[in-house]
């Protein structure tokens, strides 16, 4: 058994895939076509429930099951309007893996998911939260650093590894955020990760059906171009979103100022203002991914955009990651033997 096989054996066993490399759920991108392609290639696909209508999610799950007999997950946003109906849909369809995101799930929801036969994963940002989730029955954790694209927390992966990975042995822990090379994967496995989750790199695959202009923006981007949205004042709650800076990104700041002024004048309710904040990114992301609006649409991307440069077939991406990881492990082994 090679060093790589040995290091990610637990991740392979947990996910029941040849490569414990999760393609993170990306709204408007991680559909049945893309997810089944990832799983059929030997990695692990994750269907994005996002804010879609429950009937559409039900359809996407069934379509994924028709396109692949391999394991996959459905990512549920616990703060989404249709969250409870989404959970019912995945349970009804016997989805093998369920990923809770957005906020941590409640114990009855975890129990409901597990009683369907699914393995359950959740994101954790602190050691105490990780321990609490484990006590509630979570089967595995995902540590996602702020380097990632889309909705993110405020802590880098480097800190999360020290806070959680080094202190949790009860369940498999997968690392995410800013990962785009096999060499980095090798070191994360050496640190104890069971596997990894990537998003930005998978956008630049032939199997991803995002608009060509959306992909081109990723190719041209530098790491520092992927920035997190600011929160203007404390009147509205803004969950940070990391995306490539464009006119739409700047318009979001203007939207917050406008809504705050309307709130002060009592021209709009807090609920409506908060809804407009959340809804902004849903529509903007769809325009970018499906219509190629790279000026005013949302170009959600991680800082690893600075590490990607061309579109490749999915299998080639996976082959490159694996060969890079194996080469790095051999280099590290030689370095240690020389001590």
Q: What share of the chain is helix, strand, coil (3-state, %, to 5)?
A: 50, 15, 35
Work out the number of other CB atoms within 10 angstroms of the CB of residue 189.
Answer: 25
Q: What kind and span of H or E run contains 258?
A: helix 247-264
- Please state the pTM of the whole predicted model: 0.94
Is the confidence at residue 61, as pLDDT, over 90?
Answer: yes
- Is residue 73 within 8 Å of 93, Cβ to Cβ? no
Q: What's the Cα-to-Cα distance from 102 to each of 50, 203, 224, 265, rounded to whole Å?
A: 10, 21, 25, 31
Q: What is the pLDDT of residue 271?
A: 78
- Is residue 242 within 8 Å of 260, Cβ to Cβ? no
Of the candidates 314, 291, 288, the residue with the CA atom closest to the CA atom of residue 301: 288
Dist CA 86 CA 269 (whole Å): 28
Work out the number of other CB atoms within 10 angstroms of the CB of residue 163.
Answer: 19
- Kindly state the tokens that stand for 275: 């809804």
* Confidence grade of residue 263 (pLDDT, cut at 50, 70, 90): confident
Buried b (16+ CB within 10 A) or exposed e, 100-137: bbeebbeeebbebbbebebbbbbbbbebebbeebbebe
Judged on CB neighbours under 10 Å (0-12, 13-18, 19+), 178 is buried
Is the confidence at residue 278, as pLDDT, over 90?
Answer: no
Dist CA 239 CA 237 (whole Å): 7
Work out the number of other CB atoms within 10 angstroms of the CB of residue 173.
Answer: 28
Is the confidence at residue 158, as pLDDT, over 80?
Answer: yes
Dist CA 172 CA 23 (whole Å): 17
Q: Which domains does the chain have, with CATH numbers?
A: 3-210+303-337 (3.20.20.70)
Question: What digits encode the pLDDT tens for the residues 72-86?
Answer: 999 999 888 899 999
The DSSP symbol for 246 reads: S
Q: Chain-centre distance of CA 201, in angstroms?
A: 12
- Higher-pLDDT residue of 334 and 262 is 334
* Confidence grade of residue 238 (pLDDT, cut at 50, 70, 90): confident
* Average pLDDT, rounded, for the chain: 93
Full 3-state SS string of 140-174: EEEEECCCCCEECCCCCHHHHHHHCHHHCCCCCEE
* Confidence grade of residue 305 (pLDDT, cut at 50, 70, 90): very high
Buried b (16+ CB within 10 A) or exposed e, 3-14: bbeebbebbbeb
* Confidence grade of residue 30 (pLDDT, cut at 50, 70, 90): very high
Dist CA 23 CA 47 (whole Å): 9
Buried b (16+ CB within 10 A) or exposed e, 197-218: bbbbbbbbbebbebbebbbebb
C-alpha triplet 49, 51, 52: angle, nearest 5°: 70
């Amino acid at each position: 058994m090679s060093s790589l096989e040995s290091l990610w054996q637990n991740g392979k066993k947990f996910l029941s895939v040849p490569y414990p490399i999760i393609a993170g759920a990306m709204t408007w991108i991680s559909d049945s076509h893309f997810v089944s392609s990832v799983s059929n290639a030997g990695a692990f696909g994750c269907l994005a429930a996002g804010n879609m209508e429950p009937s559409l999610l039900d359809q996407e799950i069934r379509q994924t099951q028709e396109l692949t007999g391999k394991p996959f997950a459905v990512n549920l946003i616990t703060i989404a309007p249709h969250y409870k109906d989404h959970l019912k849909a995945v349970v009804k369809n016997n989805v093998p893996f369920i990923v809770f995101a957005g906020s941590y799930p409640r114990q009855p929801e975890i129990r409901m998911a597990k009683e369907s036969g699914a393995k359950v994963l959740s994101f954790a940002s602190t050691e105490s939260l990780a321990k609490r989730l484990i006590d509630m029955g979570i089967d595995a954790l995902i540590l996602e650093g702020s380097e990632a694209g889309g909705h993110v927390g405020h802590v880098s992966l480097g800190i999360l590894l020290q806070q959680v990975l080094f202190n949790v042995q009860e369940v498999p822990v997968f690392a995410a955020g800013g990962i785009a090379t096999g060499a980095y994967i090798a070191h994360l496995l050496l640190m104890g990760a069971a596997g990894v989750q990537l998003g930005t790199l998978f956008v630049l695959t032939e199997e991803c059906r995002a608009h060509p202009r959306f992909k081109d923006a990723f190719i041209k981007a530098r790491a520092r171009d992927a920035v997190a949205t600011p929160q203007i004042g404390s009147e509205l709650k803004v969950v940070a979103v990391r995306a490539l800076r464009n006119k739409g990104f700047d318009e979001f700041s203007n939207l917050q100022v406008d809504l705050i002024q309307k709130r002060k004048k009592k021209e709009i309710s807090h609920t409506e203002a908060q809804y407009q904040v959340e809804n902004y990114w849903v529509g903007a992301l769809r325009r970018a991914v499906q219509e190629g609006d790279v000026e005013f649409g949302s170009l959600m991307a991680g800082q690893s955009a600075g590490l990607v440069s061309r579109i490749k077939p999915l299998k080639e991406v996976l082959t490159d990651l694996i060969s890079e990881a194996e080469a790095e492990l051999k280099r590290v082994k030689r370095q240690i033997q020389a001590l």
